[in-house]
Amino acid sequence: MAVAPEVEARIRRLVLANALEHGGSPRPGPILSRILATYPDLRSDTGAVGVAIGAAVGAAAKLTPAEQRSALDALGGPEPEAPRRPTSSTGEFPPLEGAVPGKVVLRLAPFPSGSLHIGNARMLFVNQYYQERYGGKLLLVFDDTAGSEQKRVDAELYDVIRHDIELAGVVPDAVYYKSDLIPNHYPWARRVIELGAAYVCRCPVELLRENRKLGRACPERAQSLEQALEGWEAMLGGSLQPGEAVLRLKTDMADPDPAFRDRVLFRISDLDHPRVGHKFRVWPSLEFSWAVDDVELGVTHVLRGKDLVMEDRMEQYLWKLFGVTGPPFLHWGLLMVREAKISKSKSYQEVRSGLYDGWADPRTWSIGSLDRRGISRQALQRFTLSFGLSLADIQVPAETLYAENRSIIDPVTPRRAFVAEPVRVEVQGYPTGLDHVELPNHPEREELGRRSVAAGPAFFLARRDLLAHPGEEIRLKDLINLRLPTSVESTERVVAEFTSRENRRLPRVQWVGASEAVPVDLLQVDGSHTAGLGEGALGTATPGDLVQFERVGFARIERSWAPGATPVRACYGHP
């Protein structure tokens, strides 16, 4: 089945822009990703899309750069901004129930066991959106209850998370720590007991699970008020040890959801907490703590993922028991990036073992790692909000995010030459007086200036380019034409023959002048490193600079790199 005419026209436009960006040789991979990202209905017919892209690539390859530019201008020029789903304050972002401008109070509630990753971005930007929409307050409340042996609170991660939030451009109005608020919960716990709604359970875990499954009441459930209070004081006083007793809420043992039957409210823990040590030994469950804190902190609306509906139900049950009115809830589904394999526990292990390069390692897909790769907060915000508050779980290709970022950084990012697996090529008959050439920093942005680039007679070319064109005449992009030898036997030195300077329709390859080449170490998204050589201008780059390595993609010079040191260290962003 053929694609629709408007899709075909957009494919031609993308192919032509891509061709001009890559020296006349378009790269179809990113084009397919962008089309499928903005026309998800076509994912069931990628074959037809591939055929249309192939035809457009073939047609563009037959044109000279001038003809490509003319054809692109006829289609409206390069896309100024990647298409994205519209956001609407009345559609995809509904009004908050009962919200009063200036009175809205929202909260972020991260547990400090890992950095905030791309999946957490929705929490950040949706809360920020409503904070700004209503002129309200946004609280950062670290959900640092005792945790467990498997999921422990880590002191370092408080600062990591605060840095992630800062990188996202989200500004909390106040910061709280759940570990400081523990004493506030004890009077509420006693109140639940005095209402006859809780008991101290000493049942073994195995018996509890069986009782829950069968809907059978625990024998401790029938204890008197005095016995329940006595057990509670024993928990607080230290005569009971971890695992010997918990405070349990009396809910309906016939509830359709076994997990809701007599849930735990408080448990004993002797774990050493990084902020408060052993100051508290009885810790609330997350849902009990939030039932209290949402009221005491004055939270007016709770915005969070739909995976926390059990917590919603527990809070509402407790508020009804206390006779208080809590905030309403607003939910969204999971937003997943197909290429991002996210596991906080795995990332924690790999960071601690030293296998990962800290929490900003690209494999964590943390907000810090995205910043390291040169993905702007504006792109991450646009990407996240473009899906509104759909309750459906959404999985999209990374190219959807990359397209947003490309539209922001491409117009202001200078081009630089880089070749991986470089092989030295010496050109016989090279023109005299052509030891340097002046090239624009951006093919379409004269305001970004020009730079002087070292040229021949010796160059470094990527080994893959040499192997792809044995015996052929090729063009060194923006410079000269030469003929390669029929075989490349040496990995160190190859001799080629100068043919002309005329800009003809020939395969174009990227090059680096040998006289000023600088070593480059490029960190990839999968954690691997690509060694190569770059043009001399990279040696004076500023840490944190964004560059586009031509025919490779966008990269950010590492902030930890010292100018003038070799190799130049950079982190790959995306095509």
**pLDDT class of 89 with cuts at 50, 70, 90:** very low
Q: Which fold has domain 337-412?
A: Glutamyl-tRNA Synthetase; domain 2 (1.10.1160)
Query: Which amino acid is present at 105?
Result: V
Nearby residues of 27 by Cβ (< 8 Å), 6 or more positions away: 18, 575
Domains 91-334 and 337-412 share a fold: no
Would you tell me which CATH number, out of the four given (3.40.50.2000, 3.40.50.620, 3.20.20.450, 3.60.15.10), belongs to the domain 91-334? 3.40.50.620
**pLDDT class of 259 with cuts at 50, 70, 90:** confident
pLDDT tens, position by position, 402-433:
999 999 999 999 999 999 999 999 999 999 99
Give the β-pairing of 329-332 and 302-305.
parallel
Q: Which of 132, 155, 70, 35 is nearest to 385 (CA)?
A: 132
* Rounded percentage of the chain residues whose pLDDT exceeds 70: 93
Task: Look at the chain and count its residues.
Answer: 575
Across 149-153, 174-178, 468-472, least confident range: 149-153
Question: What is the number of other CB atoms lying within 10 angstroms of the CB of residue 574?
Answer: 19
Please give the C-alpha separations between residue 152 and each of 100, 146, 294, 337, 355, in angstroms, as whole numbers: 38, 7, 24, 27, 20
**What does pTM read for this prediction?**
0.81
Question: What is the number of other CB atoms lying within 10 angstroms of the CB of residue 448?
Answer: 16
The residue extents of the domains of the chain are 5-74, 91-334, 337-412
Q: Which of 45, 40, 39, 75 is nearest to 60 (CA)?
A: 75
**Phi, psi (5° rounding) for residue 551?**
70, 10
- Report yes or no: 401 and 383 within 8 Å, Cβ to Cβ: yes
Nearby residues of 169 by Cβ (< 8 Å), 6 or more positions away: 128, 377, 381
Cα–Cα distance for residue pair 554/549, rounded to 1 Å: 6
**pLDDT class of 112 with cuts at 50, 70, 90:** very high
Across 174-188, 251-265, 408-422, 561-575, least confident range: 251-265
pLDDT tens, position by position, 11-60:
888 888 888 876 677 766 667 767 765 665 565 566 677 778 878 888 88
